[in-house]
């Protein structure tokens, strides 16, 4: 039984959003990251050319939906279409950060459920399989009609914190920012052997939220609060939670998120609280040097994606790497699974 991917069987490419992560995934797999040529015409049209033949091979295209999101999305759609048109046997869209997962419902008249629309566009462009990480809400998984694997960075966070001696000697509690993240936070807390609390959050706007005072009773008596969320954008939710913790005499706050966007003055807002001892995130979204402050830890998800790709390509189960996975799960068909995220 093979345990490694034959480099001649696959082709690995990267869009312009996260070439560092793409290179790290390719390195984990022991395959080259092929070149891709991007060109802009005078009328602002984009031209892309893949730098290696893909005929009869499994093609993997890595692209995160980061600002400018529409630009990165068009790049990805074009690259998928190129691979399909050039007779690739399989076309895998590796999307570490699927930003439109937040547009998962119709909560106002005459708006698009964009998470579903983008899922349809990816399939139309040529994706035969999609791999992503930590979707904003579970129902987004059901929007895809091609096999889709939602991975998790929970194991990376768990391993990191279990080796933190300060945390082992501190009375800590894991906090979910809202009911939607409660199950994921509960799994995380269970792996750490810690209790979990769930905040009652009301979103006022894209940048403003309100957290009920009831959270203060849940965290009373604890020294450290570990907030576990899928992403931090403006930091509005985190700021509201931090204010509640300060009122509850919490001495230490650790902020954990899979996708660290930290837009605008989010870093400044979060570090305004001296109780915030650490911000832990991953490289699904590339973080520029100016935002990598001393208390920030960035864990790479290259090994998670790399291992999922390896197992998928070799027809092995990847159940334990899913967002909902807690232990090794045997796959009935040994290949990519499209199980319900809940």
How many Å apart are CA 280 and CA 285, to the nearest integer?
A: 13
10's tokens: 């696959």
The number of helix segments (H) and strand segments (E) in the chain equals 10, 15
* CB contact set of 193 (below 8 Å; sequence gap of 6+): none
- Report the 10 Å Cβ neighbour count for 186: 16
How many Å apart are CA 152 and CA 160, to the nearest integer?
A: 14
How many Å apart are CA 275 and CA 227, to the nearest integer?
A: 13
CA nearest neighbour of 288 among 17, 73, 15 = 17
Catalytic residue among 201, 247, 277, 291: 201
How many Å apart are CA 11 and CA 13, to the nearest integer?
A: 7
Are 196 and 216 a contacting pair, CB within 8 Å? no
How many Å apart are CA 58 and CA 11, to the nearest integer?
A: 6
Question: Could you confirm whether 201 is annotated as catalytic?
Answer: yes
- Give buried/exposed letters for 47-67 (b at 16+ CB in 10 A, else e): ebebeeebeebbbbbbbbbbe
User: Nearest 5 degrees, angle CA 217-CA 221-CA 224?
Assistant: 105
**What are the DSSP calls for 55-108, one per residue?**
TTSEEEEE----SSHHHHHHHHHHHHHHHHHTT-SEEEEEES--GGGG--S--S
How many Å apart are CA 266 and CA 65, to the nearest integer?
A: 19
Residues designated as active site = 201
């Amino acid at each position: 039984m093979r345990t490694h991917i034959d480099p001649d069987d696959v082709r690995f490419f990267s869009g312009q959003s996260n070439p560092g992560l793409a290179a790290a995934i390719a390195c984990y797999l022991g395959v080259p990251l092929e070149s891709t040529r991007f060109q802009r015409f005078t009328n602002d049209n984009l031209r892309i050319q893949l730098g290696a033949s893909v005929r009869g091979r499994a093609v993997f295209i890595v692209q995160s939906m980061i600002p400018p999101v529409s630009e990165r999305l068009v790049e990805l759609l074009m690259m998928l279409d190129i691979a399909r048109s050039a007779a690739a046997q399989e076309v895998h869209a590796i999307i570490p950060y699927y930003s439109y997962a937040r547009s998962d419902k119709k909560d106002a008249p005459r708006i698009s459920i964009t998470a579903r629309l983008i899922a349809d566009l990816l399939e139309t462009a040529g994706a035969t399989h999609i791999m992503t990480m930590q979707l904003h809400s579970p129902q987004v998984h059901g929007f895809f009609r091609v096999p889709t694997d939602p991975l998790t960075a929970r194991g990376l966070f768990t391993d990191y914190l279990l080796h933190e001696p300060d945390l082992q000697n501190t009375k800590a509690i894991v906090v979910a920012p809202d009911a939607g993240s409660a199950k994921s936070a509960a799994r995380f807390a269970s792996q750490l052997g810690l209790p979990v609390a769930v905040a009652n959050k009301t979103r006022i706007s894209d940048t403003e939220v309100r957290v009920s005072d009831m959270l203060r009773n849940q965290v009373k008596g604890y020294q450290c609060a570990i907030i576990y969320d899928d992403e931090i954008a403006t930091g509005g939710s985190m700021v509201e939670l931090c204010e509640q913790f300060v009122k509850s005499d919490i001495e230490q706050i650790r902020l954990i998120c899979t996708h660290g966007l930290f837009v605008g003055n989010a870093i400044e807002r979060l570090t305004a609280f001296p109780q915030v001892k650490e911000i832990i995130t991953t490289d699904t979204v590339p973080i520029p040097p100016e935002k990598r402050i001393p208390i920030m830890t960035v864990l790479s998800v290259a090994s998670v994606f790399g291992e999922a790709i390896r197992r998928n390509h070799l027809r092995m189960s990847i159940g334990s790497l899913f967002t909902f996975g807690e232990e090794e799960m045997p796959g009935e068909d040994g290949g990519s699974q499209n199980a319900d995220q809940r």
